[in-house]
Structure 1
Amino acid sequence: MDWNSFKMSTLTFVKHLPDTIKRTSIWLIISYLIPIINIGIIGGIRSELKADLSILSILLVTNACFITSLVFLIDKKRELTNVLNTITLVVSIVLFAFSIAQMELDTKIFPLSIYKSGAYITLVLSIFIGLVSKYDEVEANSLERATKGRNKKETTVGNTKVKL
């Protein structure tokens, strides 16, 4: 990719950022609503909310599910994003599996800091990859509207037809 192409891609991304953030936020809220409720219930039962292994495992499995949905949405031409998505998915699944084993066996496989870092890093990467995915969708919609507009020969303004 040359410098001008990179500059145009960046400007297009910034131009579509508000719509991309709006669509990604709705998607994230829907995806993470049930885990947030579950974590809230756990916090209410315990009367304190701290990031222990049970809460981190909920976050890890939710991240894994969210990232799995992105596998089919990311543009296949985005090799770096696909690799990042796959690595994030593998890390989430592995850490979730070990967290479940650690809780069930009541033993220490990894320190809590590994699970905490993994959960938060995969969450941030999930949000980033989600933004990229929604950006592709927003940009595709924008290009489709531009193509339709380019092919129009006339439009209506009020009750008057105007040739283009």
Structure 2
Amino acid sequence: MGERASTQLNGNAKKSFWGKVWKVGFEILNITKKTLFWIVLSYLIPIINIVIILGVKKGQGVYWLGIVNIILATNACFIIGAMNYIYNSLKDRETANFLAFIGLAICIAAFGISTFEIEMKISGGIPQIFYNTSAILSFIICLILAYVSQKEEIVKKNYIQSIIQKGKSADQTEINGQNFKL
């Protein structure tokens, strides 16, 4: 009897472990799905602008600095939106804000310099790799901030669901020191 109970407990522990793994995996997929949705939605207008630029300039030399400039401006706007959300919703936001400020500084510096070069018609002032790297780094920061904000939203939703479940299972409550049966 003791051996059978031990086997049953191990089976339940395995089910519990795989249940937790499944839940975490599902949550990661859900967060990723929501993050990608917001990224695509946020970058839809810049993508359309880039396609238009490429279509108009077909057969001509494409001015990549202008395209990277659009991406940098979009990254800056996305980071500012994420900063606002994170500032208003996260309790522990120092790391997220630091990352957002770094991303914003990269965007502002590269965007400002590239706009100056575009307006002054300076060709080859700063190597294109600087702008490309700035755009890629700031986009990676956008992805991280989007993921963090979506994760926080799901954590809050799960917390609210747990409170609701706890309330549904309660058979009594306390108000002003008095217990009441439900």
Under a length normalisation based on structure 2, what TM-score does the superposition of the two structures give? 0.73
Q: Which residue of 1 aligns with 2:140?
A: 124
| Contact 1:16–1:139 (8 Å) recurs in 2 | no
CA distance in 2, matches of 1:123, 1:79: 20
Q: Which residue of 1 aligns with 2:152?
A: 136
CA drift of 1:78 comes to: 2.8
In structure 2, do the counterparts of structure 1 residues 18 and 73 end up closer, same or farther at CA, with 3 Å as the change threshold?
same
| Contact 1:67–1:126 (8 Å) recurs in 2 | yes
Question: RMSD between aligned alpha carbons?
Answer: 2.1
Which of the pair has more CA radius of gyration? 2
Q: Which residue of 2 aligns with 1:153?
A: 169
Range with greater deviation from structure 2 (58-67 or 109-118) = 109-118
Q: Secondary structure at the match of 2:51?
A: helix
User: Which protein, 1 or 2, shows the higher relative CO under an 8 Å CA cutoff with sep ≥ 6?
Assistant: 1
For the pair 1:97 / 2:109, whether they are aligned, the reply is no
Under a length normalisation based on structure 1, what TM-score does the superposition of the two structures give? 0.80
Q: Percent identity?
A: 31
AA partner of residue 164 (structure 2):
K
AA partner of residue 34 (structure 1):
I
CA distance in 2, matches of 1:50, 1:84: 32
In structure 2, do the counterparts of structure 1 residues 76 and 105 end up closer, same or farther at CA, with 3 Å as the change threshold?
farther
Q: Which runs of 4+ in 1 moved over 3 A?
A: 11-15, 48-51
CA distance in 2, matches of 1:51, 1:120: 18
Structure 2 residue runs without a partner (length 5+): 1-20, 171-182
Q: Which residue of 1 aligns with 2:48?
A: 37
CA drift of 1:83 comes to: 0.2
CA distance in 2, matches of 1:146, 1:82: 29
In structure 2, do the counterparts of structure 1 residues 148 and 101 end up closer, same or farther at CA, with 3 Å as the change threshold?
same
| Contact 1:56–1:119 (8 Å) recurs in 2 | yes
CA distance in 2, matches of 1:105, 1:116: 20
